[in-house]
Amino acid sequence: MLSSILSLLQSLFYPHYCPGCGTEVRGKGVLCDSCRRGIWHPRALQPLSLDCLHLDGLFFLMDYAGGIQKALQMAKFQGREDLLPRLAEEWKQGTLREKKFHWQLGPEVRLAAAGIPTDPGRRKKRGYDLPEEIFQPWCRQEGYRWETLLVRNRPTRPQYGLAPEERKKNIKGCFTLTRQENLPDIVLLCEQRCLRLIQISKCMHSRKNRI
């Protein structure tokens, strides 16, 4: 009751407008229903077909287009911190609706989620880290442990505006594991573009300390 009154007051005083089309959004998500429908595309991809030999799965919730692309760019480049809880809500609600994101794991499987770390300089300037802000609320809901498993070992150029080959070159070998021992069996690497998860397990164990 109290939360519904609070959300009513919130929408009266701080209305939120869909980044895709500009209409007012009543719920907690970032997009209106119509814009969400336009880019809704949950899927699990086989990484072998994408030349990602060290990954076990890639899970996307939406296409990187329309309102979600705008919202992520606004949060990333325009300091729109207010969009972060709404982006987190899109992911949380989206994964609840989508069966591909429901994994049956035994209690012996050690699973952890980790963000792909932002360049420290850009993180400091921005004041927040997008993967953490978007995916940690979902981890709390699902009971997944969030761990800092990767760090950047050198500065990189922003990926934005680079050609695909330059992007690969820019980040090649720039991440290092924070520890070598006692690694989780499955790591869900969280990356905000397309609201996607990268399930990675073999690589953590088969490649010494870099991915």
Binding-site ranges for Zn ion (CB under 5 A)? 18, 20-21, 32, 35
Q: Which of 19, 48, 46 is nearest to 34 (CA)?
A: 19
Residue with tokens 């952890």: 112
Rounded CA separation 95/91 (Å): 6
Nearer to Zn ion, 36 or 149 (CB): 36
- Least Å from the CB of residue 134 to Zn ion: 19
Backbone phi and psi for residue 51, each to the nearest 5 degrees, phi listed first = 60, 40
Nearer to Zn ion, 33 or 56 (CB): 33
- Least Å from the CB of residue 27 to Zn ion: 12
- Least Å from the CB of residue 29 to Zn ion: 10
Nearer to Zn ion, 20 or 117 (CB): 20
Nearer to Zn ion, 47 or 85 (CB): 85
Residue with tokens 């809901």: 141
Nearer to Zn ion, 27 or 85 (CB): 27
Rounded CA separation 161/73 (Å): 13
Rounded CA separation 102/138 (Å): 12
- Least Å from the CB of residue 111 to Zn ion: 34
C-alpha distances in angstroms, 83 versus 36, 54, 87, 165?
15, 33, 6, 31
- Least Å from the CB of residue 25 to Zn ion: 7
